[in-house]
Amino acid sequence: MRNEADTRATLIDPKLKAAGWADTQITREHYYQRDQRYTQGRVILVGDRVRRGEARKVDYLLRLSDSFPIAVVEAKSEAEAAEAGLEQAKRYVRELGLAFAYAANGHQIIEFDFFTKSTQVLDRFPSPRELWERWQQNQGSPDASRVAERPEEYGVGKRSNPLLHPYCPESLCGKTPFYFQEVAIREVIKRLVRGQKHVLLTMATGTGKTFVAFQIVWKLVKSGWLQRRHPDRPGRVLFLADRVVLRNQAYNTFAPFADGTSEPRFKIEGHPANLTRDLYFGIYQTLWGPDEVGKRLFEKFPRDFFDLVIIDECHRSGFGTWREILDHFGTAMQLGMTATPKQDENVDTYAYFCAEEPGVAIDADDPGRGTWRPPAYQYSLGQGIEDGFLATYKVHRVRTTVDATGLHLQEAVEQGAEVFIPEEVEPREVYTTPQFEREITLPDRTREMVRHLAGLLRRFGAREKTMVFCVDMEHARLVTRLLQDEFGPETGLDNYAVPIISEEGEEGRRWLEAFADSDKHAPVVATTAELLSTGVDVPSCRNIVFMKTLSSPILFKQIIGRGSRLDSATDKYWFRIIDYTGATRLFDEWDRPPLPPPEPPNGPQTAVLEGVVFHADTNDLIVGARVSVRTGPNSQRGPIQTDENGRFSFDRLPAGNLQLMVSAKGFVSRTIVVETLTDQTIQEAVGLKPARKKGGRIRVEGLEVSIADEAIFLIESTGEQLTLEQYRDYTKHRILRSADSRTALRDIWVDSTRRRAFLEELRRSSIHPEVLAEVLGQPEADAFDLLCHIAFGSPIRTRSERAAGFRNREQAFIAAHKEDARKVILELLDKYRIGGIEQLEPEIFGVSPFREWGGAARISGWFGGAELLGQSLKEMQKRIYAEEVTA
């Protein structure tokens, strides 16, 4: 029988070649790749040292072209059943987004078809043409008759089909797509070719969404597919962002389209509209800008000017005012890209871009939970870390005393602090972390945080690139000044720390570029409020620091994405999250299927909503107020302006609870729910209160602030660091794996062999009872009681309490032994009180005073022999925990 290597070389390779698959890439089509590694292996931290986990690889990856893999073959040795490799092959196919899985041992071939969800046994491998035809039939591609009538539109050759067309070569764009990027590119193009108008990609920060968008456009343009839709002009694409830095990054990524003879790219920077290019890059604010007669820039482009609009970071910019821009280019295909899963904050985005996707079960095991429409492709932060394409992280949580207890103004005054309260401010009795630096300024708290952070940076490396997220610009400037004072003199850098709080200004741009450049050593620290949360690539950033509170999981994930990029230039494969405000509570499995989106109202749209907007204090009518009605999760009417009588009117509305949104310059905006009725007119009067000048902030100086708690636990097998709360939860789950009740744990505990195996397993999981006793402030606690407390909520008992209980309860057991044996039992009980249950093992007789008493040989005689001594030791262990039987 051949081993696996020989089976592959002498049996499987020839069968693949006989089916038309080449063993070399030179042909550029119909080839297979042996031992294709598609992940890099997770970055695992042991202390601060890095090692890689095992990369995942497939035995054979079958490709129809460089850019179109279609199947996986998992090989087994001739001596094994082919079926032994089937589940492994299916897993690879799921991850690679392919269609066919094969398991082979040289004699038998088993195929799993992901379209039919079934297997069949084959005597040969299908040919490339057979697999391509089956793939097309099952994907809903145009049927053969339509392709025959209009082959120029659909593309029948490899170069003219965007799915099979090659990627931009590495020599031009500097890199080739990773496996998950290939899946994303393929899933988007598949939908566009099929005629889908809206598509969504959800890919974590740092996974190359812009590069994916570039390769999609490259294949659509270079295959000629976009132009074949209207042969009279070239295909045109708009890349739409909401930040100049994102626009410019995309413009640079698309540089391979400039071939030296022509420049198809164009940055939209203002009026007038340029209509002579093919690839446009703009921001919403510029396109929304009016000219001297009030015509907005986007309106100067014909509605059908673009074939494809790509909306970057669409979760935060696709709706509200900007929705009119998307609607203006409504004939174009629209590709939304976001780094965040569906949350309450971006439900509209998902409803808009995923409306054409098929519904899938939220929970396959619970059909009653309903369905949702997922994006074309999702790739989460957690998956990126698992695959080794993103940096892993450590969490370092810290709280100051005022964050731990809150700030009571009266107590602060009594302790000698100075409190400054602006006249227009009504103070709270107690201030907590969310109000710090927003409603009340605490310079002493900020100084203590910076002092502590400076200590960490000195310990970790004072020149490691660090981002500090602050509450606002004023807070960011203070943190910058304090860090500069700490490190400027010792580093000799006048720009050790800089505030990056605005894109505007030449100095700010220079700082940002220098900070993002891995080859430049300064600035080292950048403080910011919001600007660095998205779009800024700083691969060498090692520390992400939270000095601001967050409630938005979306913003949190955007921010930690700043540290998730790998950077081989600076040997950066992991990063720290230093959290002073509890922001890391927002960690979750962000790719978990969410609840289904709310459905838009059904039925006839014959309701009318009219109303008036007035000054809530004076009852004066407000002319020119902006009024909108949200009729569904992704449907909004307006905004329109109130007329000279302060009135507004909407007709053709659905019946139901709609959201009425009203705003006016100088007033506080309002959103109210209005119930409309079929064939009826509803009147609504909306009063707006004038916006008050933003009140000043209370300032407290002379406050005593220190670090209240700071706890980190390292899980050595994975490099993960946990806070005390997380470590307790982690410990609980590890205990419950072995014992689901106190009684089950006691049965393990009083059996020496099982107890030692159990404790060894805990220690392999970085769980040490002695460490738990120390951090819980219970150094005298019995280890069994500590574990029961964490796993089952039981009260903690000390070893002294258990020893005293044994002496009181077990008088009959003690009296049943002779005097010398009783002396040994009482000494063993004292050893247990000091050292725990491990003292009641035979090895104890080699230490004092047992050694002086003659050791195990002599002592066993006092008990009537070695066997009876062993039985007494076991009986003592059971009786020390005897009450657990009835508990």
Closest CA to 565 of 588, 540, 546: 540
Tokens 């980190």 — which residue?
Answer: 712
Cα 430 from Cα 401, distance rounded (Å)? 14
> Does the structure show a pLDDT above 80 at 877?
yes
Lowest-confidence segment of 173-182, 329-338, 625-634 by average pLDDT: 625-634
Judged against a pLDDT cut of 70, whether residue 146 lies above it is answered with: no
Identify the residue with better confidence: 647 or 364.
647
Which has the closest alpha carbon to 286: 275, 273, 276, 277?
A: 273
pLDDT at 549 (0 to 100): 86
Is 688's pLDDT higher than 90? Answer: yes
* Confidence category of residue 601, pLDDT binned at 50, 70, 90: low
Going by pLDDT thresholds of 50, 70 and 90, the confidence category of residue 352 is confident
Under the banding of pLDDT at 50, 70 and 90, the label for residue 379 is: very high
Amino acid identity, position 367: P
Q: Does residue 439 carry a pLDDT above 70?
A: yes
Would you say 448 and 400 are in contact if contact means Cβ atoms under 8 Å apart? yes
Q: What integer is the mean pLDDT of 408-415?
A: 89
**Highest mean pLDDT (candidates 23-32, 554-563, 708-717):** 554-563
49 vs 736: which has the higher pLDDT: 736
Q: What is the DSSP letter of 864?
A: T
Q: Identify the pLDDT of residue 594.
A: 37
**pLDDT of res. 155:** 41
pLDDT value, residue 775: 66
What lies within 8 Å, CB to CB, of 507 at 6+ separation is: none
Of 637, 661, 662, residue with least CA distance to 650 = 637
Query: Could you say which DSSP state residue 10 is in?
Result: I
CA 685, CA 690: separation in Å to the nearest integer? 16
Distance CA 253, CA 241 (A): 14
Cα-to-chain-centroid distance, residue 310: 22
Mean pLDDT, rounded, for 407-415: 90
Q: What is the pLDDT of residue 488?
A: 93
Cα dist from 857 to 317, 777, 842, whole Å: 82, 40, 11
pLDDT for 92-102, tens place per residue? 999 999 999 99
| Angle at CA of residue 436, ends 316 and 585, nearest 5° | 55
Instruction: Indicate if the alpha-carbon torsion angle 47, 50, 54, 56 is positive or negative.
Output: positive
The lowest-confidence range among 682-686, 779-783, 803-807 is: 779-783
| Confidence (pLDDT) at 505 | 59
pLDDT at 48 over 80: no
d(CA 610, CA 682) in angstroms, rounded, equals 6
Each residue of 562-587: b (16+ CB within 10 Å) or e?
bbbbbbeeeebbbbbbbbbbebbebb
Distance, CA of 775 to CA of 571 (rounded, Å): 34
Could you give the strand order of the β-sheet that contains 440-441, starting from the edge strand earlier in sequence? Answer: 418-420, 698-701, 440-441
Digit-coded pLDDT (tens) for 635-687: 678 778 999 999 999 998 998 888 898 999 889 888 888 999 999 999 999 99
If you ran DSSP here, which 8-state letter would residue 698 be given?
Answer: E
Where would I find the beta strands (DSSP E) of 28-114? 29-37, 43-46, 49-52, 57-65, 68-75, 100-104, 109-113
pLDDT category, 74, cuts 50, 70, 90?
A: very high
Distances (CA, A) of 314 to 239, 335, 636: 11, 9, 17
User: Is the pLDDT score of 529 beyond 90?
Assistant: no
Cα distances (angstroms) measured from residue 121 to each of 1, 75, 98, 135, 471: 21, 15, 19, 19, 63
Q: DSSP H helical segments within 433-472, as ranges?
A: 443-460
Q: 532 pairs with which residues across the strands?
A: none
Give the mean model confidence (pLDDT) for residues 719-742: 83
pLDDT of residue 532: 65
Residue 25 has pLDDT above 90, yes or no: no
Around Cβ 329, how many Cβ atoms within 10 Å?
22
Helices and strands counted in the chain (H then E): 31, 38
Per residue in 466-501, pLDDT tens? Answer: 999 998 888 999 999 999 999 999 999 999 999 887
Amino acid, res. 665: K
Q: Which residues pair with 722 in a beta bridge?
A: 713
pLDDT at 122 (0 to 100): 93
Lowest mean pLDDT among 251-260, 302-311, 507-516, 828-837: 507-516
* Cα–Cα dist 121/7, whole Å: 18
- In tens, the pLDDT along 280-289 reads 999 888 988 8
Weakest-pLDDT range from 132-141, 298-307, 726-735, 828-837: 132-141
pLDDT at 341 over 60: yes
Q: Is 278 exposed, middle or buried (0-12, 13-18, 19+ CB in 10 A)?
A: buried
**Which pLDDT value is given to residue 550?**
85
Average pLDDT value for the chain = 85
Confidence of residue 152 (pLDDT cuts 50, 70, 90): very low
Query: Helices 742-749 and 752-764: crossing angle, nearest 10°?
Result: 110
Q: d(Cα 832, Cα 782) in Å, to the nearest integer? A: 9
With a pLDDT cut of 90, the percent of the chain lying above it is 46
